[in-house]
Structure 1
Amino acid sequence: MELPLKINSIATFTEDMFFDLCQANSQLLLERDKEGNIIVMAPTGSDTGFYNSDINGQIWLWNRHSKAGYVFDSSAGFTLPDGSVRSPDVSWIARERWEAISETDRFKFAPICPDLVVEVVSVNDNLSDLKRKMEEYLSNGCKLGWLIDRYNKTAYIYHGNGSTETKVGKDTKLSGEDLLVGLMVDLHF
């Protein structure tokens, strides 16, 4: 569940101010949309956290062998080109893109949109809101996005060219396609 705080009419947070706010309130998961609204994200249930870790682990293991990039969990925030700051459940950035970012920028909310973003629907999430969020990632340069709804055994796949596809069923596996070559993630529906 998301709770937007509409404070952009009261105060404008610079990038550094928003980062400092997040650090001072590390018990909260905060995001910022492109309008400057701060969004308080509710913690997921333990079961969703376990599922997120499984997806992250499969991508991490593939990446450990391929050494193609860097894998991040939901504690990592990224400043997208539209100015929003987002923290996908799982994300991956190609090695050459990540290594082009200065060390100083890496210690804050790195100014980059991940190449792969994964969002997992939790009990309190609104599917329509998450679909809009996936479109936001794509419009900011994401090349591949997976929105995983395990309650309905459905995966929505978003491609950088704007096309989408839906996979349904308990034996669903997702491919890294030509971006994360050789990656197959078993969704264990």
Structure 2
Amino acid sequence: MSLTIADLEQLQQEHPDWQMELVEGNIIVMGPSDYEADEISIRFAAKLWNWVEPRRLGRVTGSSAGFILPRRATDNTTKRNLRAPDVSFVVAHRLKRTQRDFVELVPDLMVEVKSKTDQIDKLEAKIQMFLSLGTAIGILIDPDQLTLTVYRLNQQPQVLRDGGVLTLPELLPGWELAISELWPPVFE
């Protein structure tokens, strides 16, 4: 049985505490992230938002913001995917007014943070799917390896480690993020 976005919305009304995605007609119930992965997501989103907001460059959202993705040109089905990256950024002119609904577009930047139960290959496949639909940059943060990998369509991934600095000049000229700032501090 292939489900639709309307089916997902009905399930969300019945189960408002569940976080779900719709992938190829199948509903995926997302479990909560581990504490460290979520803290890293928030740290990334906060640093991004602190740059974006005063400059009115666009919108930054977290893992609960759903994107209704366009069908691929090669897709012969009526299935629509609804996905929610851990962190997203949409340039201001593409979403001038926020919506009280899922948005029908791909974010310009999407970020996935590997939780302890995630599989890297599935996260990479999600990032590649977003890139193929028009996302400019996908990022995978792996707390286990202390790496941040930047993906762009038809380019080799760029792996950054502690001591490295993330820049995204095509989306956020002047923004810099030291990779070491992503890792949660240890309190004495």
Considering the TM-score relative to the shorter chain, is it more than 0.5?
yes
Bigger mean CA offset, 16-25 vs 120-129: 16-25
Aligned in 2, Cα 1:172/1:29: closer, same or farther, shift over 3 Å? Answer: farther
Q: State the Cα distance separating 1:53 from its structure 2 match.
A: 0.6
Q: 1:87 and 1:26 mapped to 2: Cα distance?
A: 16
Aligned in 2, Cα 1:71/1:168: closer, same or farther, shift over 3 Å? Answer: closer
**Alignment size in residue pairs:** 173
Q: 1:125 and 1:146 mapped to 2: Cα distance?
A: 15
- The match for 2:17 among 6, 15, 27 is 27
Name the % identity.
Answer: 30
2:122 matched residue in structure 1: 129
Aligned in 2, Cα 1:29/1:187: closer, same or farther, shift over 3 Å? Answer: farther
Q: 1:32 and 1:22 mapped to 2: Cα distance?
A: 12
Q: 2:73 aligned with 1:66, yes or no?
A: no
Q: 2:158 aligned with 1:163, yes or no?
A: no
SS at match of 1:138: helix
C-alpha deviations, 1:10-43, integer Å up to 9, x for none?
Answer: xx32x3332232243222110011x211111111
2:171 matched residue in structure 1: 179
Equivalent pair of 1:138/1:162 in contact (CA under 8 Å): no
Cα-Cα RMSD: 1.7
Bigger mean CA offset, 44-53 vs 55-64: 44-53
Aligned in 2, Cα 1:25/1:187: closer, same or farther, shift over 3 Å? Answer: farther
Q: State the Cα distance separating 1:169 from its structure 2 match.
A: 2.3
Structure 2 alignment gaps of length 5 or more: 72-79, 184-188
Q: State the Cα distance separating 1:164 from its structure 2 match.
A: 3.0
- The match for 1:54 among 31, 43, 47 is 43
Equivalent pair of 2:124/2:140 in contact (CA under 8 Å): yes
SS at match of 1:164: coil
Q: State the Cα distance separating 1:52 from its structure 2 match.
A: 0.9
Q: State the Cα distance separating 1:181 from its structure 2 match.
A: 1.4
Aligned in 2, Cα 1:65/1:174: closer, same or farther, shift over 3 Å? Answer: same
Q: 2:165 and 2:57 mapped to 1: Cα distance?
A: 21
Q: State the Cα distance separating 1:56 from its structure 2 match.
A: 0.5
Question: Which amino acid is 1:158 matched to?
Answer: Y
SS at match of 1:118: strand
- The match for 1:138 among 114, 117, 131 is 131
Equivalent pair of 2:160/2:166 in contact (CA under 8 Å): no
SS at match of 2:95: helix
Question: Which amino acid is 2:107 matched to?
Answer: P
- The match for 2:66 among 70, 77, 84 is 77
